[in-house]
Structure 1
Amino acid sequence: MAPKAAAPQNFNIAIVGQAGRLSYEALLFAASLRHNSPGFAGRLLVAEPQPGPLWPKDPRIEPEDVRAALADMGAEIIPFESRHFGHTYPYGNKIEMLSALPKGEPFVFFDTDTLITGDIMSVPFDFDRPSASMRREGTWPTIELYGPGYAETWKSLYDAFGLDFASSLDLSEPDEYWARYLYFNAGFFFGNCPHAFGELFLKYALQILNDPPEAIVCQTLDPWLDQIALPLVIHALGGGRDSAVHDYLDGPVSCHYRLFPMLYARESAAVIDVLETVTAPNKVKKVLKGYEPIKRMVYQGRGEKVRALFDQNDMPRREQAIRNRIKSNGFWLR
């Protein structure tokens, strides 16, 4: 007799929603989740920063029709306080919001500019071995002539937090090549407790910011601080780059598109089909048309003009080259 398949795990999904672009991206994320993962039984939590001294303007989701549409899709807006980052480093939201999620419950965080393109319940998460997105480039550190190399730079951080550096290395990559060193995109990450994850994430990020090791004092931390601290957190919690989720997320089950011109330029026809399918119902369309990039790219057809600029089988290797071509043709929106 064949062994029974493991029962799908219950877990929560968290995104950040706030005034402006992220409000509409949150709604689009929710629409794609409900369309492609109808069996998802966890909570969809939209973490919302609250007004305070670190926000010169109210950061909450403002349009009432967006709030109502999120509620219609079963999303729960949960507040959190910005005590350390706020508007000067909005990427810090993904660090600070973790303390507002249910303690002790497995979670998956996604950047709001993500589409769920398949069944999220099919992803074989091992929440006791956290990981994060491997769809990344070697954006940090920047190696200067006569300055510290990759190994010295990263080892200084592991040493600062009492972590074992050698076990974090990918020995299949050459010495002093960026991919040898544990590095993620923070577009998604997951773990078995958001509070345990968040406490380490905040501790490491603040120490890197306020008391950096000598080897990184000349490095730029903005906007990379979250992606510098993230591999240290994952390594400390017993996770790493080797995770079965990478065959699903940033693949058939999710797409971190970042910006709508980039989505149309480089993503698959299947991803574009998901986008256009979930934005088609009149109830959703009425709300999403309030955001100019979606209005122009999806509903007015500018996205197809962007796509026609590229051969999707022969894309430029660097993201900046893609952006430059879109901008030079007058189609850039963000």
Structure 2
Amino acid sequence: MSFNILAIAQAGRLEHEAILLAASLRLSDPDFSGTLYIAEPQPGPKWAEDPRMSDRTRRVLTGLGAVILPFETRVFGSDYAHGNKIEALAALPDAPFLFLDTDTLVTGPVSAIPFDFARPSASMRRENTWPKVELYGPTPTRTWKSLYDRFGLEFETSLDRSWPEDYWQRFLYFNAGWFFHESPRAFGNRFLAWAREIRDAPPEELVCQELYPWLDQIALPLVIHSFGGGRPGPELAALDGTATCHYRTLPLLYAREADRAVEVLEAIAADSALRPVLRHWGAFKRMVIQGEGAKARALFDRADLPRREQMIRNRLKREGLWIR
């Protein structure tokens, strides 16, 4: 089945990440038959500064086969840029889609993954980031159930009962680095409405909880569950595996990701048409061109990484190798 890919870009780091994403798709999946849409927020009252990409980046992305997709920001904006992935769905043609965070490399044929677009899912490459357990506050079970109750969803069928009660992995919780569905219009409308309601009128069980930056990841499992989706099965293992790498930052890519991700990154860096443009990104210049990525990679054993991402970040910072 043909499908489209959606990513978000705007001025600064994201526009350079979008070039890496588009170039890696062309390199690693030349038979991809859909369209890569790079959604771009337009200036308006929700943005303190013009969020649009440079003309230089636009030319490069178009040359790589991407389509620039302008969209209006009506709910979120500069106060919560994660909301771009929610609002951009309304601008996408209503056909099956895969959303990828812009800080993702395509490392294999995503077109070969047997998606069931009628059963949405999302990335399980996440940590225990939300909710935070308060000493005298509601339990995680009560917190999550209040959200399912708010939107008329069955809570019990969302649980993974192989985990103990109140343990975080018992609950349907995703990283929003990738997700998919058959209709961006239906999915996006519900995602936007529910995220907005959680922000503006949360259940009382959320009174002590931080909603930013987790709002998209709070609403996402509710939306996926409402469309009959759930945790990804083994058929989707290539996402966050052999087909995609959600690296988050270039120092983290070098520190912990598979050799294939580094190979793809450095193959793109060797492209004489792309290298001069990517040099404008400080992290790329230092990590790739000046070779500091190799230093970051030498600090860690990929077969025995620290348990938490923050521990990797802290060591990179101590070594002066942390840059976004």
TM-score bin (small chain): over 0.9
2:219 matches 1:222: no
How does the TM-score come out when normalised to structure 2?
0.99
| Amino acid paired to 1:98 | L
Q: Secondary structure at the match of 2:15?
A: helix
Equivalence for 1:5 = none
Q: Secondary structure at the match of 2:273?
A: helix
| Amino acid paired to 2:133 | I
2:140 matches 1:150: yes
How far is 1:65 from its partner? 2.0
Q: Secondary structure at the match of 2:251?
A: helix
Q: Secondary structure at the match of 1:46?
A: strand
Q: Secondary structure at the match of 2:116?
A: coil
| Amino acid paired to 1:46 | I
Correspondence 1:97-246 to 2 at 5 A: 97-103=88-94, 105-246=95-236
Tell me: CA distance 1:109–1:120, structure 2 relative to 1, closer, same or farther (3 Å): same
Equivalence for 1:86 = 77
CA distance in 1, matches of 2:45, 2:232: 40
* Identity score, percent: 58
CA distance in 2, matches of 1:245, 1:139: 26
Q: 1:295 aligns with which of 285, 296, 299?
A: 285
Q: Secondary structure at the match of 1:61?
A: coil
The answer on whether the counterparts of 1:261 and 1:331 sit within 8 Å (CA) in structure 2 is: yes
Provide Cα deviations, 1:190-222, integer angstroms capped at 9, x if missing partner. 000001000110111011011111111110000
| Amino acid paired to 2:26 | R
Runs of 4+ deviating beyond 6 Å: none
CA distance in 2, matches of 1:143, 1:98: 32
CA distance in 1, matches of 2:69, 2:316: 36
- Aligned pair count reads 324
The answer on whether the counterparts of 2:86 and 2:191 sit within 8 Å (CA) in structure 1 is: yes
The answer on whether the counterparts of 1:133 and 1:246 sit within 8 Å (CA) in structure 2 is: no
CA distance in 1, matches of 2:235, 2:216: 21
The answer on whether the counterparts of 2:122 and 2:232 sit within 8 Å (CA) in structure 1 is: no
CA distance in 1, matches of 2:136, 2:321: 41
Equivalence for 2:252 = 262
CA distance in 2, matches of 1:184, 1:76: 28
| Amino acid paired to 1:285 | R
The answer on whether the counterparts of 2:107 and 2:245 sit within 8 Å (CA) in structure 1 is: yes
Unpaired runs of 5+ in structure 2?
none
2:301 matches 1:286: no
How far is 1:243 from its partner? 2.9
Equivalence for 1:3 = none
How does the TM-score come out when normalised to structure 1?
0.96
Provide Cα deviations, 1:229-282, integer angstroms capped at 9, x if missing partner. 000000001100043453110000000000000110011112111111122110
Unpaired runs of 5+ in structure 1?
1-8
The answer on whether the counterparts of 1:48 and 1:80 sit within 8 Å (CA) in structure 2 is: yes
Choose 135-144 or 272-281, whichever is displaced more: 272-281
Provide Cα deviations, 1:28-52, integer angstroms capped at 9, x if missing partner. 0000000000000101100000000
CA distance in 1, matches of 2:66, 2:212: 31
The answer on whether the counterparts of 1:134 and 1:241 sit within 8 Å (CA) in structure 2 is: yes
The answer on whether the counterparts of 2:42 and 2:73 sit within 8 Å (CA) in structure 1 is: yes
Choose 235-244 or 169-178, whichever is displaced more: 235-244
The answer on whether the counterparts of 1:124 and 1:244 sit within 8 Å (CA) in structure 2 is: no
Equivalence for 2:10 = 18
CA distance in 2, matches of 1:285, 1:148: 52
2:28 matches 1:30: no
